[in-house]
Amino acid sequence: MLKHGSLSKTYRDSDKRVKGMNETKLLLNAYYEALHDMLEADKELLTTRIERLLHAEFANRDFGSIDREKFDAYRDACLAFVDERVEMYNPIGIQYTFDGTRRQQAFELELQLNWYDSRAEFEALIQAAQSKAQATMSEQAIRELADELIKDVGAFPDKSIISAYQADPALGKLPDYVVARAIEEIITSA
């Protein structure tokens, strides 16, 4: 999936920023970068899928009357969530601006604020990355392993969002759900 470019200089520069980074963390960074590049490249397709999924949810759920203005508002919210997700996966994003302690605090705060619990999914992602990471990995190997990781576990935290919404659907959860479904459809069709 990292076919849109090579690993960013952030990950290739072993004498500077990557030095001391273990193989699992390196693979996770490549995973996030591959997701970032894929979402950036597929925004038009995401928009089409989001609209289709929104229509289906409104048709299949008892959310009351949905006029064009309300539909457009939900579509716009979904597109904003796509932008948020792209930034979340950004290889130069906020996850790299905090030191280890602050990063952990930010992650814990995010878990408390989300309406879904993604801890088990995150642990599964970490375990999958640990099982794939190798002591010596070329840039090509890292790209291939990141693509495998995406195919194996999907885009974090999509599975958590999808299962929590399906267990208790609500309009307030709809944008997250639709974006997660659209991303997973793109991943599985790639």
pTM value > 0.85: no
Tell me: the pLDDT tens digits for 22-62? 899 999 999 999 999 999 999 999 999 999 999 999 999 98
CA angle 74, 79, 85 (to 5 degrees): 125
Tell me: the pLDDT tens digits for 125-174? 999 999 999 888 899 999 999 999 999 999 999 999 999 999 999 999 99
Query: What span, in angstroms and rounded, lies between the C-alpha atoms of 78 and 90?
Result: 18
Tell me: the pLDDT tens digits for 173-184? 999 999 999 999
Query: What span, in angstroms and rounded, lies between the C-alpha atoms of 20 and 168?
Result: 43
Determine if residue 174 is left, alpha or beta; phi over 0 gives left, psi from -120 to 50 gives alpha, anything else beta.
Answer: alpha
- Six token digits for residue 20: 């001391």
